[in-house]
Each structure stands twice: as structure tokens, then as C-alpha cells.
Structure 1
Amino acid sequence: MFNDELVLAVAKDHPRIENSISSEQLFLESHAVVSLDHKGSFSKPYYQSTESIQAIAYESTDMNSVLSVVSQTYFVAIAPRWLVQACNETLNLKPVPLPWENAKRACNLTWHESTDRDKGHQWMKSLLKQFSLSM
């Protein structure tokens, strides 16, 4: 559907991270992630190396729980900018740019095949297709 800009979500009072982070420092921090073995894990593509996997301190089944833990600890999480900004006041978070050139991820919409017969889903899919073709 679109490309999400990714950032590092950190607590506003994080003692080591101000407004930027280096590649070297990134995986020295403790990370909170969406479970890597969960089908469709948001985090899995960013944790492929031994160094990055060893940085994982907390796993959850959803991004909202991950961000909640990050807001109450000095853990960090890779997350979509829009989500960190939407939660930045209620969860005391701030977005920090990632140290990679291309910090984007494709956002896709998926649904179970059993919805193919549902009239409401057929209507929604038709609208989404029309919208995506007009862009």
C-alpha cells in the first residue's frame, strides 16, 4: 500500500540516546521486538545477524506492547515513525532517525482467504484497488 518510514523508538529520558544514534551504538542497546518466530513479525527483517539477535532483551506478540515496554525502560525498538509519533505523548516516546540510508518498509494489507465470500470485504477490496490505481 505504501512505504513506512522507520525510526528508533526510545524513551524521552533515555540516558544514552539524544537525537541520533550510530550504527555501532544501535546494537549495543537492549532491544524490544515483535516476536521473531511470529508469522509476519514486523521485527524479523532487522534481526538477522548474531550481533542484532543478541541485542534482543524483550519479545512481544504486538508492536503496542513493545512500545509500552520501551516507554518504561531504556530499551529501544525499530518502529514506524507515524506510530511512535502517535504514541509519543501518552507513552513518553521520541523517534530517533535510524543510521541507515534506506529506513523504509513496505506496508501491506492482508486478510484471510475466508473473507473472500464476505460482501463487506469484497466492497472494501474493490475500493482499495480503485484507490491504489488512482495514485
Structure 2
Amino acid sequence: MDAIDLNLLPALDALLAEGSVTGAARRLGLSASAMSRTLARLRAATGDPLLVRAGRGLVPTPHALALRDRVQALTREVQEVLRPADDRLELGALERSFTLRANEGFIRLFAAPLVGAVLDAAPRARLRFVPKPAKEAGPLREGAVDIEIGVLGDFAPEVRTSLLFRDRFLAVVRSGHPLLSRPMTAERYAAARHVVVSRRGRFTGPVDEALAVLGLRREIVAVVPGFPDAVRIARQTDLVALIPRSCLADASLMEGCASFALPVSTPDIAVSAMWHPRMEADPAHRWLRSLLMSVCRPPTD
């Protein structure tokens, strides 16, 4: 493509439409001499005179006539391709499927209000929620997932992020659990038996690090992949579950359970939306991100 000058295309379109060097020059805002030089370049490029003198005017050659409609269509198409993207978005006519990858807890809490908000604004759009068995950037990079929701951790450096809300851990036990009878201390908490959540099957986490500073260690007897599983186990046993505060919003999940603040300090959980930079300027994707931010308000105490 080094020898091709696309600036010649609109010049040829103007010349064939006007049938005049002066008219084409006026149309493109050029001088007549500049347009004459451009016509010479077009003749060299095409190997055809294109416009020849007939009396005081110019007439197109057969080759020019054969090119006229094609040149006009190509010129319009090139202008469409090379002009800035149209960021106008007609939500009522938007037909698009978005894929969001999130854990079970997020889907339980936010899928229904998010779907409702999408349908209200863009009734022909669709959402697909998929599980996240592991934290990996591949689906975002490959375009299989539009937005990933979760804790950042070690992720792809190019991925864009936006904080949705901050959460924190609470302890959950069955109603009437012996731990509820007296004020909670780190010693009483550590002396209980526990169920924890880890997709990777880990038995320890930030709570254990905080307890270790105090010279304490808790006994973990079960590890499950999801927070609803931990709550169900706590409801039916004397085990203490560790869950994010946002889970309290699910009344059916918390039925028959009570929660209390941890007696040790742990870092907040920063829940973020993540997407690949190629979707950064996409109007529909930008709208969905904004809607997601408005739906995921910080959970109340």
C-alpha cells in the first residue's frame, strides 16, 4: 500500500462528479493548479486520461464513466471508516448480549436488580451471567467476557478497573449459638470451630493472620467454595462461618442465623468491575458499566 495515496480518491470523485478541474477544486477547497497536478497524478496512477478536452470543457473517457459509481461509493465508505466513531447510543434499539463473570454471591444479590435496570432502559439487550471458577484474564482478553466482577488481586496489567463497593467480613452462626450469650472476644472467637470459603481450598486467610498477631489460632474443620454453602453449614451446626457483610442483604440465606462483627481487624474487600481496554470507548459497554455502578450501591449495615 506504500504507493497508494487515498487522498486521490476524493479528488477523483470530485473530478468525475464536476467534469471540471475548476469545479472539483472549488468543491475540495483547493486551487485550480493544485487540482490540475492531482489530475496528472490520477492519470499516471490509472493509466487513462480520465477527462479529455472537448471544446471549452472536459468529458470523461469510457474508463472514467465505468469508474464513476464505484469511486463515489468507495469515497463514501472510506469517509465512514476514517471518521471518529459515533458515540450516540439508542438504548431502545440496542440488540446486544453482554457476558458478566461473577461469583455466586454477587449473582444472588445483584443479578435481579441489574437485569431489571437493563430491561427498563434497553428492552432488547440481554445479560449472560457465567461462573468464575478461577481468576484469569483470558476470557476478557479473548472477548468471551465483557465484564469480570470480583477482587482485583494479581490480574492482567492492561485490564481496566472500577471500584463497585467495599465490603467487610462478618461472622455468622445459627440462632441461639453459645457464642451469642456473652460479648465477643478474640479468645472466644478463636476457641470456636469454623467453616471458611475458598475456591482454591485454602484453610487460612486474613482473619488467621490477625489472630496470629495476638498469639491465637482458630480451628477450621470445613472449607467450601461459596458463601451460601458456609452459611447453610453454620445454620445446621455449631460452626462459625465467615462471610462478606453484603450477604446479609439476602434474607432467605440468613434465615435462622445471626451475625456479629469480628473481634479482630481485617482489610476491607474491594469489589471491582474489570474489562479489557478495547471495550473502554464502546458506547454500549460504557453504558452497562455506568448502570452496574448505579446498581451496586454499598451495602448498608
Whether TM exceeds 0.5 here: the answer is yes
Which residue of 19, 31, 42 corresponds with 2:194?
31
> Which residue is 2:183 aligned to?
20
The answer to whether the 8 A contact 2:195-2:221 is kept is yes
- 1:95 and 1:76 map into 2 onto residues whose CA distance is 10
Q: Are 1:84 and 2:248 an aligned pair?
A: yes
CA apart distance, 1:106: 2.7
- 1:61 and 1:112 map into 2 onto residues whose CA distance is 24
The answer to whether the 8 A contact 1:4-1:104 is kept is no
The answer to whether the 8 A contact 2:234-2:240 is kept is yes
| 1:52-99 alpha-carbon deviations (Å, 9 max, x no partner) | 4x5111110000100110111100022223423634775311111221
The answer to whether the 8 A contact 2:165-2:272 is kept is no
The answer to whether the 8 A contact 1:33-1:59 is kept is yes
- 1:72 and 1:125 map into 2 onto residues whose CA distance is 39
**Relative contact order higher in (CA < 8 Å, ≥ 6 apart):** 1
The answer to whether the 8 A contact 2:197-2:242 is kept is no
Q: Secondary structure at the match of 2:191?
A: coil
Gap change, CA 1:68 and 1:111, over 3 Å in 2: farther
Which residue of 266, 270, 277 corresponds with 1:107?
270
- For the aligned residue pairs, the C-alpha RMSD in angstroms reads 3.8
Gap change, CA 1:51 and 1:37, over 3 Å in 2: farther
Higher-Rg structure is: 2
The answer to whether the 8 A contact 2:171-2:261 is kept is yes
Structure 1: tracts of 5 or more residues without a match:
none
TM-score by length of 1: 0.67
After superposition, residues 1-135 of structure 1 pair within 5 angstroms as 1-18=164-181, 20-35=183-198, 37=200, 44-48=205-209, 49=212, 52=217, 55-84=219-248, 86-87=250-251, 91-100=255-264, 102=265, 105-111=268-274, 113=276, 116=279, 121-128=285-292
- 2:271 and 2:295 map into 1 onto residues whose CA distance is 14
Q: Secondary structure at the match of 2:188?
A: helix
Name whichever structure is richer in helix by fraction. 2
Structure 2: tracts of 5 or more residues without a match:
1-163, 297-301
CA apart distance, 1:2: 2.6
Aligned residue pair count: 127
The answer to whether the 8 A contact 1:33-1:58 is kept is yes
CA apart distance, 1:107: 2.9
- 1:105 and 1:84 map into 2 onto residues whose CA distance is 16
- 1:64 and 1:72 map into 2 onto residues whose CA distance is 13
- Percent identity reads 21
2:170 partner letter: V
Gap change, CA 1:21 and 1:68, over 3 Å in 2: same
